[in-house]
Structure 1
Amino acid sequence: MRQILKYYPDADITVYERHAEISYLSCATYLHLGGEVKNLDDVFYADPSEFTKQGVKMRMIHDVISIDAKEHTILAQNLKTKELVHDSYDKLIMATGSITAIPAISGIENPKIMLCKTCDQAHELYAAAKMHHKIAIVGGGYAGVELAEGYIKSGHEVILIERSPHVLNEYMDTNMSKKVENLLVEHGVKVLTNTTVTQFSDLKNEQINIQSTNGDYAVDMIAIAPGVIPQSDLLKGQVDLSKNGAIVTDPYMCTSDPDIFAAGDATEVRYNPTVSQSYIPLASHAVRQGTLAGINVFDKRLKSIGTQATTGMLLFGKTIACTGLTYEKAIEANFNTGVAHYHGNYRPDFMPTTAEVSISLVYDKNTRKVLGAQMMSDHEISQSANTISVVIQNGNTIDELAFLDMLFSPNFDEPFNYLNLVAQVAVDQEHGYWRK
């Protein structure tokens, strides 16, 4: 909306939103549980009244029932009054997001089993946690791992269940995932990987039983964090969708219908490491895509440059950051894959304090291009993942990264930055620098 108001000030804008608020940052859920964020009302990065003052018709608590792309019409319902609203459009931007992929497990409808995506669900989780002590989390992605930390910090007993061999399986290779699992265990989380939940059932003592391939576990409540799926039903059969239902767009965020644009979790992204379209729902993607859709809706001005799916988290004081392909994902994508590991202090030992940095750097042995990286440290290294993201974006090689110009000061790093050093490990593995 901000971009439409900026570039097309004469546009007549109407927004339909199912909830009473907009732009909730779901990462705030675990921060609220852990006590870092005191008030969930502070974590919305946009306020409907801001747009109302600028002339935007904000139809909050309205559910869009159907869209007729051929006729350019919308049918919606006011969820308070139940009144039906008929509307039309010249251009439509779909930012319907995603929904939780609720697993088909017997007993999952139990009220002690809760979701963790929306602001309302965050309030419910917070309230329920006050009455319960032993909590299970099903799903070991970012949301599940962050929830585990939040509940540990609030004094709860936590079991984290993940069906894959490791937590953060989509973002990290085995060696780095194990470091995360060890960190969780050190802080009291019971981590169960390679574990599939098969049934939930009530117990006589008001607890709920989790039946799994790794045994039975009795807990007081359960949070489900199993991932999401695109919410694109309104456009099914009217625009091109991918196999999983994500809306397909061009680099300007335009769909196969020239009058419909799409952004956020409902869409695919261009994933640069594999030069392909992928479904990678991240808040960073949603913000950039929404901005592009607003800029391009009446005049195609700016293309997306794609993404490396760069992510990060702060877990029990350690920075964990990832970008691009893992070793396993690179193998799946048929790269002749190499991986280099670096473990060393981020700055000289003569400084009053320092901390170890662990890095895995993934690269293509044929072209020597950097494909991805994962890193972990007590030191704040998140911006280093951003640097590798740019290296991947630009198609740089391990040889170039080994000598990439980076500042030196004993306050910050060694004469060769740790990113230079992990690339030098990769070069040594490939028997020296590439002669052109």
Structure 2
Amino acid sequence: MKVAVIGCTHAGTAAITNILNLYPNAQIDVFERNDNVSFLSCGIALYVGGVVEDASGLFYASVEQFEKHGVRMHMQHEVTNCNMHNKTLEAKDLKTAKNQTYAYDKLIVTTGSWPVTPPIPGSDLNNVILCKNYDHAKEIIRRSQSIDNVVVVGAGYIGVELVEAFQENGKNVTLIDSEKRILNRYLDETFTTPVEKSFEEKGIHLALDQTVSSFKGEETVEKVVTDKGEYNTDLVVMCIGFRPNSDLIRDQLHTLKNGAIVVDPYMQTSIKDVYAAGDCCAVSYNPTKEPAYIPLATNAVRMGTLVAHNLVKPQLAYPGTQGTSGLKIYNHHIASTGLTETAAVDLGLNVRSAYLEDTYRPEFMPENDVVKIKLVYEIGDHRIIGAQLIAEADFTQAINTVSVAIANDMTIEKLALTDFFFQPHFNKPVNFLNQVALNAMEEEARRKTTRS
């Protein structure tokens, strides 16, 4: 069985690793534009901030490891054409410019994502940098060493992590975003306000609710111009978001409007023997029961693993995702899963939420911490569709529990009565997950009594 894999970050790496275990006689050809595999881009901010001193630690697989197992690694090769009906592809060696045609029996598309790059005048100036891969990470480190002023454009997870890293490295930092709040897609206002306050206390300038219109400078960027102001800078890092890297195949496969490849539960695309996984794909989103574009490494690894298991015949279905994620900014430990209340309302869902702010241990314990948690649920069937948490201590693993609840269509009643242990060192007799669900039940009972 000849298997061709286009792209080798998280989904591609997981697919190859599992194919080697499941089908040791398979002939695997991997085509990758870069000279490395399996880079953890979520670690870029840790690298910039000096938490990770050696960037080689941000890789968890290597070309050499795969080649030792007989995988033919075509590094710095760009696939320029793919004929999915004839089962052939053409790849260009970027070092020699030589083109070659390859045949396959099974094709795995794991081309990942690429940063969103609006056509902003001045984007070609020196020191206007993207933030995605290993080369970007090295450039950000190199160019930031001798400068003072940094502008980060985009207040998602990567953007806010970079802001913290640059500030702790002594830079003057401005964060620009078109939304009124940071982390708008992941958290409701109760959970973003404390982080914004910490940024302001650290001297970070938040330029929110404004859109970049141009970059100014001679050869190197000197100023960022928005619809509401101008900001002097020596370096700009663009973190607006990501889009599916699917231009190569989007005219042959069924995709969403944004180009995300649609796959069935077994990672099969709309063409037989062509599979796809990772950030180039749409995923089954359990809170809405609809396909959605959620580029996360965790999704990519799961999907890549499933490709291998279903390569010969469908046998292991994708259970869907909740888009669960976590973040640490200064002393804030944050996690979320599923839909925020704001996002749910925007989608037209009929929802309510319950909120809890309480100590996690009994009051008699000498040391304690406060946890804040919000539960979002549908009004009709009380199905849980989202949760958010913030605390100065690390309670983020609790959101993984809610993720499991969403995946299994649990209601607020089921979560309220779920069996969690009690021990004063760790929690209260009523765990805060039980309690926030009980709060939701009380609210529903109150409303029912009022109506009657």
Normalised TM-score (structure 2) = 0.93
Residue 158 (structure 1) aligned with residue 173 (structure 2): yes
> Which residue number corresponds to residue 285 of structure 1?
299
Residue 140 (structure 1) aligned with residue 167 (structure 2): no
- Please report how far the alpha carbon of residue 180 of structure 1 lies from its aligned counterpart in structure 2 after TM superposition: 2.3
- Please report how far the alpha carbon of residue 186 of structure 1 lies from its aligned counterpart in structure 2 after TM superposition: 2.5
- Aligned partner (choices 363, 376, 380) of residue 366 of structure 1: 380
Distance 1:317 1:178 in 2: 14
Distance 1:135 1:300 in 2: 49
Distance 1:271 1:250 in 2: 13
- Please report how far the alpha carbon of residue 8 of structure 1 lies from its aligned counterpart in structure 2 after TM superposition: 1.3
> Which residue number corresponds to residue 210 of structure 1?
224
Distance 2:325 2:398 in 1: 11
1:89-128 aligned at under 5 Å gives the runs 89-128=104-143
Question: What letter corresponds to residue 270 of structure 2 in structure 1?
Answer: S
> Which residue number corresponds to residue 170 of structure 1?
185
Residue 351 (structure 1) aligned with residue 401 (structure 2): no
- Please report how far the alpha carbon of residue 187 of structure 1 lies from its aligned counterpart in structure 2 after TM superposition: 2.6
- Aligned partner (choices 280, 290, 300) of residue 266 of structure 1: 280
> Which residue number corresponds to residue 355 of structure 2?
341
Distance 1:262 1:250 in 2: 10
Distance 1:88 1:352 in 2: 68
> Which residue number corresponds to residue 31 of structure 1?
46
- Aligned partner (choices 390, 398, 413) of residue 412 of structure 2: 398
Tell me the secondary structure at the aligned position of residue 214 of structure 1: coil
> Which residue number corresponds to residue 66 of structure 1?
81
What CA deviation, in whole Å up to 9, does each residue of 1:2-36 have, x standing for no partner? 11111111111111111111011111110011111
1:36-55 aligned at under 5 Å gives the runs 36-55=51-70
What CA deviation, in whole Å up to 9, does each residue of 1:123-146 have, x standing for no partner? 000111101111010000111011
- Aligned partner (choices 187, 193, 201) of residue 208 of structure 2: 193
- Aligned partner (choices 372, 382, 388) of residue 396 of structure 2: 382
Distance 2:54 2:315 in 1: 39
Question: What letter corresponds to residue 330 of structure 2 in structure 1?
Answer: F
- Residues 203/86 of structure 1: CA separation in 2 closer, same or farther (3 Å cut): closer
> Which residue number corresponds to residue 251 of structure 1?
265
What CA deviation, in whole Å up to 9, does each residue of 1:358-381 have, x standing for no partner? 111111111111110011011111
- Please report how far the alpha carbon of residue 416 of structure 1 lies from its aligned counterpart in structure 2 after TM superposition: 0.9
Tell me the secondary structure at the aligned position of residue 13 of structure 1: strand
- Please report how far the alpha carbon of residue 207 of structure 1 lies from its aligned counterpart in structure 2 after TM superposition: 6.1
What CA deviation, in whole Å up to 9, does each residue of 1:209-262 have, x standing for no partner? 111122111111111001011011111221111111111100000101111100
> Which residue number corresponds to residue 301 of structure 1?
315
- Aligned partner (choices 421, 424, 438) of residue 424 of structure 1: 438
Tell me the secondary structure at the aligned position of residue 372 of structure 1: strand
- Please report how far the alpha carbon of residue 177 of structure 1 lies from its aligned counterpart in structure 2 after TM superposition: 2.0
- Aligned partner (choices 8, 12, 20) of residue 27 of structure 2: 12
Question: What letter corresponds to residue 263 of structure 1 in structure 2?
Answer: A
What CA deviation, in whole Å up to 9, does each residue of 1:372-410 have, x standing for no partner? 001101111121110000111111111121121112111
- Aligned partner (choices 219, 229, 237) of residue 233 of structure 2: 219
Question: What letter corresponds to residue 294 of structure 2 in structure 1?
Answer: I
Normalised TM-score (structure 1) = 0.96
Distance 1:86 1:357 in 2: 57
> Which residue number corresponds to residue 179 of structure 1?
194
- Checking the alignment, whether the CA contact within 8 Å between 1:399 and 1:433 is kept in structure 2 is no
- Checking the alignment, whether the CA contact within 8 Å between 2:215 and 2:221 is kept in structure 1 is no
> Which residue number corresponds to residue 3 of structure 2?
none
- Which is further off, 182-191 or 275-284? 182-191
Tell me the secondary structure at the aligned position of residue 321 of structure 1: strand
- Checking the alignment, whether the CA contact within 8 Å between 1:399 and 1:434 is kept in structure 2 is no
**How much identity, in percent, do the aligned residues show?**
39
Residue 231 (structure 1) aligned with residue 241 (structure 2): no
Question: What letter corresponds to residue 58 of structure 1 in structure 2?
Answer: M
Distance 1:5 1:300 in 2: 18
Question: What letter corresponds to residue 71 of structure 1 in structure 2?
Answer: N
Tell me the secondary structure at the aligned position of residue 404 of structure 2: helix
> Which residue number corresponds to residue 315 of structure 1?
329
Question: Unaligned regions of 5+ residues in structure 1, if any?
Answer: none
- Checking the alignment, whether the CA contact within 8 Å between 2:126 and 2:221 is kept in structure 1 is no
Q: CA RMSD in A?
A: 1.6
Tell me the secondary structure at the aligned position of residue 279 of structure 2: helix
- Residues 9/429 of structure 1: CA separation in 2 closer, same or farther (3 Å cut): same
- Aligned partner (choices 146, 155, 164) of residue 131 of structure 1: 146
Question: Unaligned regions of 5+ residues in structure 2, if any?
Answer: 1-15
- Checking the alignment, whether the CA contact within 8 Å between 1:203 and 1:209 is kept in structure 2 is no
Distance 1:93 1:7 in 2: 16
